[in-house]
Homo-oligomer: A and B are copies of this chain.
Amino acid sequence: MNKPDNQQKAASAAVTPRAQDYSQWYLDVIKNACLAEHSPVRGCMVIRPHGYAIWEKMQRELDDRFKETGHENAYFPLFIPLSFLTREEKHASGFAKECAVVTHHRLKSVNGEIVPDPESKLEEPLVVRPTSETIIWAQYKNWIQSYRDLPLLINQWANVVRWEMRTRLFLRTAEFLWQEGHTAHATEKEAIEETWRMLDVYADFAENVMAVPVIKGRKTEGERFAGALETLSIEGLMQDGKALQMGTSHYLGQNFSKGADVRFQNKDGQLEYVYASSWGVSTRLVGALIMTHSDDAGLVLPPKLAPVQVIVIPIYKSDEERVRTVEEAKKVAAELKALGVAVKVDDRDGIMPGAKYYEWEGKGVPLRIEVGPKDLEKGSLCIARRFVAEIKGETPEAQRKRRKAFLPRAEAIASIVPTLAAMQGELLERARNLRTERTRVIDKLEDFEKFFGEGGGFAWVHWAGDAAQEDELAKRFETSIRNIPFEDQIPAEAKGEGVCILTGKPSKQRVLMSKSY
């Protein structure tokens, strides 16, 4: 079916330029691309078809990677009995605050008004899962008896709820969609390897699918997941210079297996608590995607995540031209589909080509093919790219030519797949360059202050302060330690020992600081 639904009707409002108001730009991009919107339920968003299609592509890519690394999907209950949350002490204090609590199981009509039936009050309230460690480990108790039952490598795709007062589409909502991996291992070594492996899976996905370069590292103690011995993260840099935590992987040690009393008989016949990891990414990644690549014309999508990679638009004046150009557009689409390209024909009548261009640009479609009567005569096609890599010193005229080219038909068709691949690479390159531009190795507090006063970015900083001093820095500059990057993540110019930027104490390595979402 080529007829786009109303989700795809021409965008009506212009996008606020980033330089003018970054927050409004973000909302405008989402609105114009029909990705999501607020719902009448406080804190909950509606993910519209175009936004959901991007999430589906992310899911497919991630799910394939999870399965390749030996994981299986399963599904656990939405509700967690209140008492379960108290089983792991740190977890309880870290998570048990802002939750949706189910207290009744029936409604009743009282004087024409529907209210929770007081007689249906639950003996034990249920919490809508904010994360599933406790309920899943209660089940693992039935599944794990011996080392032969391990490792247990399970993932769940699900919705979770963490009550939020100040929400932001995709980045922070009360309900969001995510995946949560929960694995069980016979040894600490294996569980730690799993924790690191899944962070690598996330980093690979971020860079090679989302085209978002990330820094891998450990979170500081204060930023660890409630109940984890170690939390690893990948951190991306958004266009406004703020970091976004894009995924986390936790080594949980025996905390949750002790909480749920999950022991196994090891090879020596002794009972031992199981070692655990958990790891997750969420619809927040759609926010990261938007904020890394999009521009003042709206959404920009890496071809690997574009639900529509190529839009074909027939251009005509008369009915006779319409018939011929639509026919050719469909032929072109069929040929591209056979090459594995996600292609759509926009043959809606009554909408001017310019409006269509504008709409599909706003939706981030990487390539547009225009099919006009002259193209038919000449046997050519016009191919327009959503973006081109910047070339320093290039004239606007020269850049326009690279953005929009008329090619002989066969050559044009043959160019699509390699062009999409090139664009995928160019986006990653562009994001890397932007990150480099906004990254500093900083040794003095005054330079730190200046950098973050002027917008900021990633700062490689020596740190040896305590938690209170971390808070102090956060209050003064709105910055935080994003993570303590792994050795191989540190650029040459930031390597080596030094002294803490705040306390002057010796420091073994630099950490990654920035403002953040």
Contacts and interface: CB of A to CB of B under 8 A. Distances in A.
Given A41-B77, A73-B56, A114 B100 contact: no
Interface of A: 1, 3, 5-7, 9, 37, 39-41, 44-49, 52-53, 55-56, 69-70, 72-82, 84-86, 92, 96-107, 109, 114-116, 120, 125-128, 135, 138-139, 142-144, 148-154, 158-159, 161, 163, 175, 177
Contact of A73 (B52, B73, B126): B52
Contact of A116 (B107, B125, B135, B154): B125
Given A128-B128, A153-B5, A41 B81 contact: yes
7 contacts: A6-B149, A39-B77, A85-B114, A96-B107, A101-B105, A115-B125, A128-B128
B106 A163 contact: yes
B100 A107 contact: no
A380 to B, nearest CB: 32
A78 B159 CA distance: 8
A47 B74 CA distance: 6
A75 B104 contact: no
A72 B126 CA distance: 33
Nearest to A73: B52
B97 A107 contact: yes
A114 B124 CA distance: 11
A44 B78 contact: yes
Given A49-B154, A99-B105, A102-B102, A161 B73 contact: no
Contacts of A115: 82, 125
For this chain, the copies found in one complex come to 2
Contact of A77 (B44, B85, B106, B153): B44
Contacts of A105: 98-101, 163
Interface of A, secondary structure class, is mixed
A284 B71 CA distance: 25
A154 B40 CA distance: 19
Contacts of A150: 6
B102 A128 contact: yes
Contact of A41 (B45, B48, B80, B114): B80
A116 to B, nearest CB: 5
A7 B101 CA distance: 32
Given A52-B74, A99-B107, A159-B159, 9 more contacts: A7-B72, A7-B152, A39-B77, A41-B77, A55-B75, A85-B107, A86-B114, A92-B114, A101-B120
A100 B99 contact: no
Nearest to A113: B86
A104 B106 contact: no
A153 B69 CA distance: 36
A60 to B, nearest CB: 10
Contacts of A49: 72-74, 154
B177 A75 contact: yes
